[in-house]
Each structure stands twice: as structure tokens, then as C-alpha cells.
Structure 1
Amino acid sequence: MKFLLLSAFLAAGYACKLDGVTRANEETWVARKMFTMRCVINKDSSWKTEVVGCASPTGAEVPIGGQVIEEGIVYSCNRGEDGRINYRKAMHPTTFCEGHQLGDTWIHNKNFNRSCSERGLFVVNCLTDSGAFIPLNGQVTEGPVLFKCTEESNGTVLLHRGRALEKVNLQKLALSKLKENIPLEPQMPFVEPTTVALPTLLPEVTTAAVVELASTEAATQVPVETTTAIEVTESTTALETSSFVEEATTVSVESTTETEVQPGEVPTLAAPAEPLPPIAIDPVQPPTVGVSLNKPEGPKPPGIRPPAVMARPEPPVEEDNTIQQVVPASDVISEAVFPQETVEPVTSQPIHIVHPPAIRPPPGFSHSGMSCLDEGVVRQPEDTWVVEGKFRKTCTEQGAVRVLECLIDDQTPMPVNTDRMVGQRLHRCWRQGDQVFYEARDLPKRRRHF
């Protein structure tokens, strides 16, 4: 009886201590609003934390191997082959694909070819008014109209319509421009864009590892999350009334007036604003008209002062009643891999440290309550901390972990992409792609020759 009471007393004295919080045996809690954790105390007094499930943003339990649908978003929780728990977030096709199923392709608003996939709704290509194929970032001329289909970096697809350049008689164009005192410049087609923003949703995968410790003083960390980039991009306009607004297409064609000149007739030129100065003509060399040919022999004709250019009256401003509507983009969720960081001790040998790539969510992301999970510790936005004494990290408002600078020691920070000499030791800190590198090496001493 005394032995049982003593065992119960000792068991009650042990608990899971994590991030300053003491958890009792079999106690469960939700970490980072995604994973359901449980404290387990072994018979040998050691303890561990394990993932027993997932949780939706509203707190609904998502068991391992199951899924929950909330507001058109499918939240699933599965165990991978390596034992990690995968938390996945994806769009429900019937909700975000206008009732279409996965793999369906259809024409939307006559000029856009859409498709439905697990990553969401996206545009495959554009179409002309007659149904001709226009590849993304390509253009097609159909009659007098030039169609151009472009895709922006944020997933927005733009369909431009404009007047195609025609072959115009240069002489007639020059005479027409000369009458109006307009410089002869190449005329560009007038383009009126039609904008459509389409959602591009990538499934979110968050993994957690379960580690068992044999020591009572050691602490099992919160699951190490490999991907944390979640972005929600929204664009709204005054005309927006629903989640998906029909795209407005406009066509604007410039009209060009050309004056026919009959043989033998001389076009009537507009009188200049001020009298022209007298033109000196060389009796030997006749004056040149149009393009001047530079001949090496003979005297060059004197310079002719050009007449004053009459200001072209501004055309009346017509009120543009064209309605352009922008479709807001849906959730954009990126997936990445966050490898483990390896750090070697500082010795006289060169040190080469590679920091894992920063988790960067797509631009424009904003989500309240977002936090970062780095090395088992939950960080809040704008928090800074030091890892292995060599990297100073921060947590962004988007839930991304980013390296701010390297550290030579506790008192000597070193910005990224800089080199610094401390004694005979060269320290280097640079960023290459999404990785941060730190290197320290001893430079060879110069020998003096006598």
C-alpha cells in the first residue's frame, strides 16, 4: 500500500514542461491552431509530447485519417510514411469551381478558357471574339483588332484589345500630318485592357515530428513544421458585389482620317502662325526636300529655319462609361520544404554554415493571429531570437521565419551580404537564393623574407 502511494506521489510530481507551461499526464491542447498535442509520462519518469490529431481554424477536431469541410475549405489530417502528421488545406471543387468537378474545362465570359483542379480555378488560355486560341502571354490579330493575353505574377489574367497596325501610304500620312503640323512619329495601337483576376490555390501541408526523450530533464519540442506559408490575396473595387464578378470586356478602335490627293493637285497647307524667314538658296546646289542626302562633293545647303509648329488642339475628353470589374483572387497557399539546420563549432578550421531557406508566403498576404513555429518554439510576429549563436531570426506578420543577420559573437552582428575581418579571421555572411550562408576562416600569415 505504501509503495502504491509513493508511486502515485512520484507520478504526480512529473509533468511535461514545454515553453514555460506545465502539462499533466494525458493532457491535450492545440498547438499553433493546427495540431492536437498530448502529454505522455512513461513508467521510467521520462515524458514526451505526441500529435494525436489536427484542428480546424474554428477549433473542430480533425482526426488522423479524416477531414472536415468548413466554408468550402477541406481540412485533412494524415500520417505520412515517415511518421509525420500532415495537415492539408485545399479548396472544395464544387464551391470554388462554379459547380464544376475536378478536371472540367469550360469557356467563361466568351474570352476565357477556365479549368478546375485541386489547386483551384485558373485560366488555361484566352479566346478571341470568334473563339480563336490565344496562349497566355501571346497575341493574335483578327481583322483590325489586336488581342493580347497576358498573365501577371499574382495570377491575374489581362485581355487587351486594340487597333492593329495597318500598312498606310507614307506619302498620304506625311501630307495629312503636315497639314496639322504634327511631328511624324510612329502611331501605337490604342489598347483598352479587360482585367480578370482568377484564384490560384495550392494545398497547404504542415508536418509535425514525434520525438521521445529518455531523460526527465529533457523537453520534447512542439512539432517542427516544414511549411508555414499561407497567403490570402484579396482585391476589391467599388463595383464588386460578390466573390466572383463577371469580367467586363471593351473594344476601342481609333479612326484615322486620310485625305486623297489627286494627280496634279497641290495640297493646301495650313498657314504658319508667323511669317517664314527668307530662305537662302545656293544657285549651284538646289534646295533639298524631304530627306537630305549628304554628298561629299559640292557645298552644303545652308540650314533652313523650321517654321513655328502650331499647337494641336486637344480633343474633347469623352466620358468613359466602360465598366471594368476585377475578380478577387482566392486563397493562395504555397508549399515548401524546411530542412534541418547544421552548425559546426567555431575552430581554427573554416566554418561553413548553411541556413535553411526562409519560408516566404506570396506577396499581399494578411492573416490575423498568425505566428511562427521554429525549432519547436511558437513565435509571435516581430519577435527576434538567436539560433546556434550565429543567426538572428524574426517572425513576420505573414507567419514566415526570416534571417535578419549573422552573428560573429554576442556583441558583433554582421549584416547579410557582407564580409568582415576580425584579427586574422575572415567572416562572411551572404544570401544565395532563399538560403543564408555563414563562413569563418583563418587567413594564412604572410612570411617576411630578409
Structure 2
Amino acid sequence: MKCTIHENGSWKTEVVACLAPNGNKIPINSSMDDGNDQWKCSMNERGMVTLVQGANPHAKCDGHEVGSRWQEKSFELECLSGGVRKLRACVTEEGQRIPVNGSKEVNSFVLVCQSFPNGTVSFHGQKTIKAPKVFGASQTVVQCSDEQNGDRNVGEFWIENHRFNKTCRANGAVEVVNCISKDGVQIPLNRQIVHDGSRYT
């Protein structure tokens, strides 16, 4: 506030700046950037002063410049105006990109990168189950086939494509037991877990 005293003894006060939450003064009709926020102090034609909080268009995303893209674990992200991180694609261990809400066949798996309105992302593979191998006439022996057409015994567990822990069931079906993240975290099927600040689905 500014107080002006006239020679005739009259006085008046007027707003000359806004005060940001961090204590900094913002002159009338100007703005100040503070982290991911931008504060605007303005006065309308009736003399009403407002302080409005908005997104800082120059804000970075954890050190990444606006417009830049980078990869975090299995996800490619882009920094948008205001420091907003946007998912652009899922990335396999071999570097194959699957666009958001798209799919791609990799190593006989159809990999799907799916984004949901609540912000969660599902990155999973789908595969047709091969017919079981049956041996013996009097005694039936069932085996499963893995991705390399290798034989797997009932009850045996193995990891395929670095991401899927599988087993061979008694009916000859290959079943995914759980998923494995790039950094080795086991994720149960149809469940979501949080590990070291990262959410896995």
C-alpha cells in the first residue's frame, strides 16, 4: 500500500503491488515466476486489484526443458508448458516404442501401451497360447512350449522376454504368473503396487 498526504491535510491510500506467498512484491500489472507457478498482479478499470496464480510457462519438469523428451524406466515422457509431464510412449527393453493407446508386435507378443483417464498406464503383452504336447499311449505326459519352442514340464517356472514369469499348467496351458519390471520388481497380475516411489500395474 502507498499512503499519500496532500497539503490540505487530506490523504489517500492505494495499492501499488501484490504480495506473493513467498513474500516477494509484484508490481501492479506485472507477473513473477516462482517454481512451477506464475503470479500475476493486475488492476482493472474500477481500481480492483487481483493476484492470480497460474502455471509458469517456463517451468521445467524435474530439470528437463519444455519441449524435451526423455525416458524413465519403460516410459517416454515429454515436458509441456507449465512443467507438465506427458506420457508419449511405452518403451521395451530393446528400445521398441509403442505409442500411447497403441500396440505393436514384438517377439511374437502383441505389446499394448494403454493410458487411462485417472492417470494410470498399463504396459502389457498378449499372446496366443500354443497347444500342449501330449506324449505316451498308456500314460499321458503333458508338456508346454515356451517362446523358443523349448519343452517345459508341468509345474516348471521360467522368465520370458525379461518381463513375464510363466509356468506350465497340468492342462498344458502356459500361464503368466506375474510381471517383472525393468528394475526387477515383481508385479502380481491384475494388481497395482508402489515401489520406491514408482507405481507398477
* Equivalent residue, structure 2, for 1:422: none
Q: State the shift of 1:251 in Å.
A: 1.9
Which of 65, 77, 99 pairs up with 1:114?
77
Cα deviations by residue, 1:14-59 (Å, 9 ceiling, x for unpaired) = xxxxxxxxxxx41x6xxxxxxxxx4xxxxxxxxxxxxx54332234
On the 8 A contact 2:35/2:56 being kept in 1, the answer is no
1:384-441 Cα shifts (integer Å, max 9, x gaps): xxxxxxxxxxxxxxxxxxxxxxxxxxxxxxxxxxxxxxxxxxxxxxxxxxxxxxxxxx
CA gap of 1:63–1:123, structure 2 versus 1, over 3 A, is same
Runs (5+) with no aligned partner, structure 1: 1-6, 13-24, 29-37, 39-51, 173-177, 181-249, 261-314, 329-450
Q: How far apart, CA to CA, are the structure 1 residues paired with 2:44 and 2:96?
A: 46
Q: Aligned equivalents of 1:128 and 1:79: distance in 2?
A: 53
Q: 1:150 to 1:80 in 2, by over 3 A?
A: farther
The CA distance in 2 between the partners of 1:327 and 1:259, in whole Å, is 36
Q: Does the alignment pair 1:161 with 2:124?
A: yes
Post-superposition offset of 1:113? 1.6
Task: Output one character per residue of 1:69-111: Cα deviation in whole Å (capped at 9) or x when no partner.
Answer: 4455332335689x986724224756x41322221122232x2
Of 163, 179, 199 in structure 2, the residue corresponding to residue 251 of structure 1 is 163
The yes-or-no answer on 1:89 pairing with 2:54 is yes
Q: Which residue in the other structure is 1:55 paired with?
A: 19
Closer, same or farther: CA 146–55 of 1 in aligned 2, 3 Å: farther
Distance 1:114 1:79 in 2: 39
Equivalent residue letter for 1:77:
C
Following TM superposition, by how much is the alpha carbon of 1:161 offset from its aligned partner in structure 2, in angstroms?
3.1
* 2:114 corresponding residue in structure 1: 150
Secondary structure in 1 matching 2:87: strand
Aligned length: 148
- The 5 Å alignment of 1:5-404 reads 25-26=12-13, 38=15, 52-77=16-41, 87-91=52-56, 93=58, 96-109=60-73, 111-119=74-82, 120-156=84-120, 158-162=121-125, 164-169=126-131, 251-256=163-168, 322=186, 324-327=195-198
Distance of 2:56 and 2:25 partners within structure 1: 19
Q: Within 1, Cα distance between the matches of 2:169 and 2:54?
A: 59
Aligned residue identity for 2:195: Q
Distance 1:327 1:65 in 2: 41
% same residue? 20
Q: Deviations over 1:183-229 (max 9, x none)?
A: xxxxxxxxxxxxxxxxxxxxxxxxxxxxxxxxxxxxxxxxxxxxxxx
Confirm or deny: 8 A CA contact 1:145 1:161 kept in the other structure.
no
Q: CA RMSD in A?
A: 4.4
Partner Cα distance (1:257, 1:124) in 2: 37
Determine if contact 2:90/2:123 at 8 Å carries over to the other structure.
no
TM score, norm. by length of structure 2: 0.51
TM-score by length of 1: 0.26
CA contact (8 A) 1:93 1:99 kept: no
The alpha carbon displacement at 1:116 in A equals: 1.3
2:128 alignment partner AA: E
> 1:338-377 deviations in whole A, cap 9, x for unaligned?
xxxxxxxxxxxxxxxxxxxxxxxxxxxxxxxxxxxxxxxx
